[in-house]
Chain A
Amino acid sequence: MADNNNTKATKGAISIRNVTKIYDPEGVNVMAVDDCSLEIGAGEVCMIVGPSGCGKTTLLNAIAGFHSITKGEIYLDGEMLCGPSKPLADQGADRIVVFQHGALFPWMTLIDNVAYGPKVQETMTKAEALDKAGHMLAEAGLGDVAGKYPGEVSSGMARRAEIVRALINDPKVLLLDEPYRAMDALTKSIMHESLLEVYDRTKVTIFFITHDLEEAIFLGDRVVVMTTRPAKTKTILDVNIERPRDYHVLSSNQFRVLVEDAKDAVHEEAVKAFEAGERELA
């Protein structure tokens, strides 16, 4: 995103105010999120951690407009996404989700996948979209595989392409739902660096859900620890590590102290969740 270089982020502030979500599967009420409030500044990397099935994804789904909320409001840059009058947010290209299992369309080549957003929104002609997609893929180091299908490239490449597919739309917010969960540690660290590089370039607001505390601290400006279901914010840790960051951060003392703090906060909740034997909510 050449036009976005060196700009201070001015867009993508999310405000979650007193959001409650109650599911009703099979006639049994389950409260997934209870009175949760959170302010995310424009251009912030906000990491959400918490035990399995605690309702992190519910929050993401509410922002993205996949699920309605029961109470509360969510604002994006001062505009209401969802609230009492409109429980389900519209889905739009200003908030793009990168999914846990990856959702590149397997029937389109990487370049077609990336060009898809501008094409259907009709913000660019087909040729322009393909051209820009080619450039962006090359920038992300995927120029050689642009013509391949997602099933033919490694999961790391696919995930990078998926982030490119999101960024081409110049979104206000990037919503990531444990995108690196199934990856090995080495691939993961490469993915982290490339995400940080993308962030430093675009300063897009990132809402990132994870289980991995080190990942959360390495990437985030703030780490929000959620309680077990129903999810509330338990503590918020500020990560005051200089950007741009690289893997040397991982061995610094500051980093270790932060990880220790986060572990303390999460462990208690994890034990509670484990004892309750929670199954992950869809």
Chain B
Amino acid sequence: MSEAVQNGGTSNGAHSSGEIKPRKKSKLGKALSSKTFWRGVIALVGFVVFWELCSRTYGWTGIQIPWIGKVPPPTEVIYAWSYVIWLPGYWESWYLSSARVFAGFIVAMVLGIPFGLCLAVNKYFYDIFFPPFEVLRPIPPLAWVPASIVFWPTTEMSITFVTFLGAFYTIVINVLGGARSIDIRYLRAAQSMGATQWDLFSKIILPGTLPSIFTGAAVGMGITWEVVLAGEMISGGGQQGGGGLGFFIWSSYMGGTVAQVIVGMISIGIAGYLSSSLIRYIGSISMPWRRLF
């Protein structure tokens, strides 16, 4: 976006006859003056107020609004939050969940990217290994949880395994699709300039696949959070007390403090959002040519 402004600026400079007067606005200034931004603010504020009113009507009038009426109001949630942030256990949950997410995620990247690239470049490899992959793929990762608990010696390892599985499929499929969609002309151009096999791979296929890798990683990250949460709720919540935000939610629910459940939900939302932003950020610095658009 800033690039477009710059470009407009320079072309205007070179072309003084038709220029009127460039007005530049900062990003923040533009956001504050845009209708879309303020409508978004109104919508969110309206949403919170609506929620507050719906939850409060029971206390005021004795009439319970279906569904939302049973949820604690936002003010109560904020109050619960202000209490919870002083507890070390809350931050430990953050740490534990994030550690699990990143462990599973990194394993999935490390195995998934080479696997996907091999599938894309070698036809025999594809023919042999893609069918079993496709057969296993429709089984939802969570269905693996019990089997994984049986197989792996520790709960931690089984959660990591299921997490890995969740992200693995998405990353492989994206890498495969990305590598296959590379324009054949790039490969031919490089070959005609005398590129070796390794050059083709490292200079064309890998950078050409990067955008898909990052798309896959962003989606995979979302699934990873989902799976970690489920793993924590199913296994950690059960007997061993593995901790983490999923366990935080589950134990708050068991303890009957619903406001804390919502605190946990929002915390996970924030954590998921932060981690996918992180991936987008890494993506944008490792692919400078994509920032032009």
Query: DSSP class of A's interface residues: helix, strand, loop or mixed?
Result: mixed
Check A29 against B5 for contact (C-beta < 8 Å): no
Q: Mark B9-27, 1 if CB is under 8 A from A, else 0.
A: 1011011011111111100
A25-B11 contact given A34-B18, A229-B18, A230-B18, CB 8 Å threshold: no
Residues on B with C-beta less than 8 A from A276 are 11, 14-15
How far is A276 from B5 in the complex, measured between Cα atoms in Å? 16
Q: Are B14 and A277 in contact (CB under 8 A)?
A: yes
- B2 closest partner in A (C-beta): A26
Q: Mark A7-31, 1 if CB is under 8 A from B, else 0.
A: 0000000000000001001111111
Known: A25-B4, A31-B19. 9 other contacts (CB 8 A): A22-B20, A26-B8, A27-B5, A28-B9, A28-B12, A29-B20, A30-B8, A277-B14, A279-B7
User: Would you call A278 an interface residue if the criterion is a C-beta within 8 Å of the partner chain's C-beta atoms?
Assistant: yes
- Output the nearest chain A residue to B22 by Cβ-Cβ distance: A28
Nearest CB on B from A272, distance (A): 9
Q: Which B residues are in CB contact (< 8 Å) with A29?
A: 12, 19-23
Q: Which residues on the A side are within 8 Å of B137 (C-beta)?
A: none
In the complex, chain B residues whose CB is within 8 Å of the CB of A28? 5, 8-9, 12, 22-24
Are A277 and B20 in touch, CB under 8 angstroms? no
Q: For chain B residues 116-136, which have a beta carbon within 8 Å of chain A?
A: none
Q: Which residue in chain B gives the minimum CB-CB distance to A28?
A: B8
Complex contact A27–B23 (CB within 8 A): yes
A: residues with CB less than 8 A from B are 22, 25-31, 34, 229-230, 275-279
Would you give 6 A-B contacts (Cβ < 8 Å), ordered by A?
A: A26-B1, A27-B30, A28-B5, A28-B24, A29-B22, A276-B11
Would you call B12 and A30 a contact (CB within 8 A)? yes
Hey, which bits of chain B sit against chain A, CB under 8 A?
1, 4-5, 7-9, 11-12, 14-15, 17-25, 30
Q: A27–B24 contact, CB under 8 A?
A: yes
Interchain CA distance A19-B20 in the complex, whole Å:
16
**B164: shortest Cβ distance to chain A, in Å?**
41
Residues of B within 8 A of A278 (CB): 11, 15
* Among B8, B14, B15, B25, contact of A25 (Cβ-Cβ < 8 Å): B8
Residue of A nearest to B7 (CB): A279
Among A22, A27, A230, A279, contact of B11 (Cβ-Cβ < 8 Å): A279
Q: Which residues of B contact A275 (CB under 8 A)?
A: 14
Q: Residues of B contacting A34 with CB < 8 Å?
A: 18
For the complex of A and B, the 7 pairs showing the least CB-CB separation, nearest first, are A31-B18, A230-B18, A29-B20, A28-B8, A26-B5, A27-B23, A28-B22
Q: Tell me how far the C-beta of A269 lies from the nearest C-beta in chain B, rounded to whole angstroms.
A: 13
CB closest chain-A residue, reference B8: A28
Which residues from B are CB-within-8-Å of A31? 18-20
Q: Which residues of A contact B11 (CB under 8 A)?
A: 276-279
> With a CB–CB cut-off of 8 A, which chain A residues contact B30?
27
Q: Which residue on chain B has the smallest CB distance to residue A231?
A: B18
Question: With the chains together, A55 CA to B67 CA distance in Å?
Answer: 57
Assuming A276-B11, A277-B11, A279-B11, is B4 touching A26 (CB within 8 A)?
yes
Most B CB contacts (10 A, CB to CB) among A26, A30, A278 go to: A26
| A28 CA to B4 CA, complexed, in Å | 10
Q: CB-nearest residue of chain A relative to B29? A: A27
A243 to B1, CA, bound (A): 51
Partner of A229, one of B5, B9, B15, B20: B15
Q: Which residues of A contact B9 (CB under 8 A)?
A: 28
What distance in Å separates the Cβ of A277 from its nearest Cβ neighbour in chain B? 7
User: Which residue in chain B gives the minimum CB-CB distance to A275?
Assistant: B14
Closest B residue to A272 by beta carbon equals B15
Expressed in whole angstroms, the Cα–Cα distance for A278 and B7 within the complex equals: 10
The smallest C-beta distance from A230 to any residue of chain B, in angstroms, reads: 4
A31 to B20, CA, bound (A): 8
* C-alpha spacing A276/B19, complex, angstroms: 13
Contacts of A25 in B (CB 8 A): 4, 8
Q: Chain A contacts of B8 at CB under 8 A?
A: 25-26, 28, 30
* Cα A25 to Cα B5 with chains together (Å): 8
In whole angstroms, how far apart are the Cα atoms of A26 and B25 in the complex? 8
B12 to chain A, nearest CB (A): 6
CA distance A276 to B22 in the complex (A): 17
Q: How far is the CB of B11 from chain A (nearest CB, A)?
A: 6
- CB neighbours of A279 from chain B (8 A): 7, 11
Tell me, in angstroms, the Cα distance from A30 to B148 when the chains sit together.
62
In the assembled complex, the Cα of A28 lies from the Cα of B25 at a distance in Å of: 9
Once the chains are docked, how many angstroms separate the CA of A27 from the CA of B17? 18
The smallest beta-carbon distance between B148 and chain A, in angstroms, is 46
Residues of the A chain whose Cβ atoms lie less than 8 Å from the Cβ of B24: 27-28
List A contacts of B17 (CB < 8 A). 230
| Closest B residue to A228 using CB positions | B15
A49–B7 alpha-carbon span in the complex (Å): 25
Distance of A279 Cα from B21 Cα, bound (Å): 19
Q: Closest approach, in angstroms, between the C-beta of B163 and any C-beta of chain A? A: 41
What are the residues of chain A within 8 A of B5 when measuring CB–CB?
26-28
Question: How far apart are the CA atoms of A80 and B8 in the complex, in Å?
Answer: 33
For the complex formed, measure the closest distance between the CB of A74 and the CB atoms of chain B, giving whole angstroms. Answer: 20
Q: How far is the CB of A211 from chain B (nearest CB, A)?
A: 20
Give Cα A73–Cα B17 distance, bound, in whole angstroms: 23
